[in-house]
Amino acid sequence: MPEVVAYIGLGSNLENPQMQVESAIDELAGLPETALRSRSSLYRSAPMGPQDQPDFVNAVACLETTLPPQALLQGLQAIEQRHGRVRAQHWGPRTLDLDILLYGQYMIDTEQLKIPHPGIAQRNFVLYPLAEIDSRLDIPGMGKVQELLAQRSAAGLTRLEQTPGAAQ
Ligand code: ROI
């Protein structure tokens, strides 16, 4: 497999969400055949979907990997499991959610994998951190991140300050 640049969306709204997301980024960096190229800041975001749940912490990580998409997905699911993810309520709270947003310029549409992630254009908590990493990024079939962002308000979204003492 040639090396591919993949973008991963991270989200958590249970059990110290900032810590869940920070440690998941470290775990992404530890996946086989994979290196962490860059990452966004953390963002606090109002829940999309049912409103009777805590705010989320969201971020995006950019990986270089030679894992095929299916193997990458399995790696993400293993990390979710380690964070105690249980799939209870549809669009309900979760300790950790990891999504493959982009896998190079590939378009994949299977039962298990939809890449680019179909929700990107609607989610300011994905677009803003993506743009922080690369605002000129092209999302196959959707357009440039910068243009998608211009159509999404930042309502409910706050970029979080660096955690004191966090590694830079
Ligand atoms: N809402 C926000 N703000 N962030 C998320 O990561 C997120 N993830 C979800 C649902 C429940 C749809 N809402 C979200 O899965």
Mean pLDDT (the chain, rounded): 94
pTM: 0.94
DSSP string for the chain = ---EEEEEEEEE-SSSHHHHHHHHHHHHHTSTTEEEEEE---EEEPPSS-SSSPPEEEEEEEEEE-S-HHHHHHHHHHHHHHTT----STT---S-EEEEEEETT--EESSS-EES-TTGGG-HHHHHHHHHH-TT-EETTTEEHHHHHHTS--TTEEEPPPPTT---
Note the pLDDT tens digit of each residue in 8-41: 999 999 999 999 999 999 999 999 999 999 999 9
Angle at 27 between CA 79 and CA 46, to 5 degrees: 70
Contact 57, 44 (CB under 8 A): yes
80 lines ligand 1 (CB under 6 A): no
| Per-residue pLDDT at 44 | 98
In this structure, which residue's CA is closest to atom 9 in ligand 1?
Answer: 91
Sign of CA dihedral 74, 77, 8, 50: positive
For residue range 100-155, list pLDDT tens digits in order.
Answer: 999 999 999 999 999 999 999 999 999 999 999 999 999 999 999 999 999 999 99
Mutate to test the pocket of ligand 1, among 125, 128, 158, 159 (most ligand atoms within 8 A of CB): 125
What's residue 20's pLDDT?
96
What share of the chain in percent tops pLDDT 70? Answer: 95
Atom 5 (ligand 1) nearest CA: 11
Class for domain 4-159, per CATH?
A: alpha beta
pLDDT of 163: 59
Best probe residue, ligand 1, of 10, 14, 58, 153 (max atoms within 8 Å of C-beta) = 58
pLDDT in tens, 157-166: 999 987 555 5
Tokens 């300011």 sit on residue = 124
Start-to-end C-alpha separation, the chain = 31
Amino acid identity of 23? Answer: S
pLDDT value of position 87: 62
Tokens (6 digits) for 98: 């990891």
- Where are the domains positioned within the chain? 4-159
Q: Ligand 1 centre and the CA of 55: distance in Å?
A: 9
Q: Which two tokens stand for residue 32?
A: 């086989």
Q: In DSSP terms, which residues pair with 7 in a beta bridge?
A: 62, 102
Q: How confident is the model at residue 92 (pLDDT cuts 50, 70, 90)?
A: confident
Per DSSP bridges, beta strands 4-12 and 97-103 are antiparallel
